Structure 1
Amino acid sequence: MKKEIRTVVYDEDLRIEAYRFEGIVQPFPNHFHEHYVIGFVEEGERRLLCKNKEYKVKKGNLILFNPGDNHACVQSDGRTLDYQGINISKDVMLDLVEEITGRREFSGFSETIVWNEEITVCLRSLHEMVMSGSSDFGKEEMLLLLISALIQNYGQAFVCSVPEAMRLYYEEVEKACEFIREHFDERIYLDQICHYSGLSKSTLLRAFTKSKGITPYRYLETIRINEAKILLENGAPPLEVAMKTGFSDQSHFTNYFSSFIGVAPGVYREIFNKNN
């Protein structure tokens, strides 16, 4: 049987808890939490009882618990459960909702078990950033995108004030791009970009994505990788390139570069320097 592993990480920047359970077989008795739970089933099937309603939970399902939702579950197949999720306190959730909608009120999620690939991608990306200890503003960006999508799709008895169409905010978005280009080699924060552009975090994310087709953090990653390519083409060693382009260490840089370009930085460097 697969070894049972339980990992929990608290992110002080976001004030949320991320956890991962692997190889779990134990049943969980009827209980409730005082916080919001947003989870994702990686492997396994469970029979879940929540608020006197029974669900079959399987691979790919998102699980949404509001504070006070009583629930119990037991494995329903012969396999173990692999599960990842985040816990968000009521105060932090209200802060996020206010940032996104301008209103400090949230009745909770209308659904318990859902299937939504877009939201799943957000959750898994956020979870990975928190579990790996990322310090980039990409994790804050991803948390806002996640909660915004959840509110729009599953906000319970809530009239969402997120506009259906976002005007371009052309000048503000260009100012955000300017700030990112000028400070790409530093550790920068979403607050700094918002202050420079004159937009709130939620408005910046929506306007920037609509205008540029990518989020501010992905824009920053792209700028960094493009600068790294130039340095590597000119013979700079990967460690030096990592430091000059704002990455926390060489391993972080190598992972990002490989995911964007398809080859490791050292291999890319050799392509341009093998005849020198």
Structure 2
Amino acid sequence: MKPPATSHVISLCMDDGAQVEAMFAGDPKAHFDLHWHAEWSVGAILEGRCEFTCAGERQVAEAGDLVLMAPCMLHTAGVSAQGFRMVMLYVPHAWVAAQLGWPVAQRGELRRGVWKDDFTARALAQAALSEDGGEVGRLLAQVLRAQTGDALVAVERQMADARVEAVCQALATEDACRIDPGALAQRLGVSREHFHRLFRVAVGMTPAHYARLARIGRAKVLLREGQTAAEVAVQCGFTDQAHFSRWFRRCFGVTPGNYRAVRQRPERAE
């Protein structure tokens, strides 16, 4: 069984009731803009080649490779011209922490972000395609246990400058679109130009770009809660629903409407 040639998302229920999202991507023109996920990202490359950046480093994953990214790691993704098929699973950190015995606000350091394991990659993809939540959970626990170390670090990104950290917290709120950059600079006690330089050094992007990504992340949460795409677009400060839909798809590969439909789908009868 192969993933279809267009991107789509399904929701799987593991044996303990925890939900994991699975995105199937097979579009040779697929490209995902810089973004992050609040969840762990565990991917299996089935065909072709995926070139991406994660935490500022260029990475390449090919058929038979597994990919692992921790929550809040900034990344992009693109694919090679010869074709591409991938399954990416988004796993709640609370579930991972419970499986591996971590405090909920911490995680183990990654050992590897990309490695060859054709057997596990295909097994994980097959379990996701079959919507076998129990087997998906077993394989995810196996992968995460093998590729995370004993040393613990904070789950959330830690900024060296506490002032920038405070600004990031403000930008992550639902009214981030209404915060004026000049007001943020004033809050830090610096000029607007110095604020932009300070923020770029600490975060790696402009405040405006960070605010958009924070709003997209919040939008995902609101869609999960059952709000419509139109309601979410207004709450998260996008110009209109079309503008919101374009950015959501550029980051997550599907439209807000399709994503919400998956989250609202009733569970299959056994």
| Structure 2 length-normalised TM | 0.47
Which structure has the greater CA radius of gyration?
Answer: 1
Between Structure 1 and Structure 2, which shows a larger proportion of strand residues?
2
